[in-house]
Amino acid sequence: MSEKKEKTTAEVTKKDKKEAPAKKKSVDFKAIGAKIKKFFKDFKGEWKKVTWPSGKTVLNHSLVVIVVVAVLGVIIFGIDTGLSSIIDGLVSLANKQDAETTTDVAQMINLFFMK
């Protein structure tokens, strides 16, 4: 008696699916046209809901933005200038070749961090 494995229905359907030629999908132009039409109809409805600010409101908001940018620019300039002067001072002290350099740098660091 020979033992043959019988294929299960799941194995048969998997094999059949692999061997079956792929069906071409047809393009439904009516459905595509309906979707495009719906998109533009919804777009038009949303566009009508948009409220535009008045000229006075735009001017006020623009002035606020300009003032805030100017103030922050001045603050950043001040911080940058201060840090640059500290670094320049440390570099000039490091360039000194005498014995006072070590104590000057230590004093400067102590003054900087003690404040």
Report pLDDT digits (tens) over 43-90: 999 999 999 899 999 999 999 999 999 999 999 999 999 999 999 888
d(CA 28, CA 36): 13
Lookup: tokens for 50: 């948009």
Q: What's the pTM value of the predicted model, to 2 decimals?
A: 0.45
Rg (CA), the chain: 39
Residue (of 38, 54, 36, 35) closest to 46 by Cα position: 38
- pLDDT category at 2 given cuts 50, 70, 90 is very low
d(CA 86, CA 112): 9
- Mean pLDDT of all residues belonging to the chain: 81
Please report, for the chain, the start and end positions of each structural domain, with discontinuous segments joined by +: 54-115
pLDDT score of 112:
78
d(CA 81, CA 74): 10
The answer on pLDDT for 97 being more than 60 is: no
Lookup: tokens for 56: 């006075």
pLDDT score of 1:
47
- DSSP one-letter string for 43-80: HHHHHHH--PPPHHHHHHHHHHHHHHHHHHHHHHHHHH
Look up residue 25 and give its DSSP letter: P
Q: Using a pLDDT cut of 70, give the percent of the chain over it.
A: 72
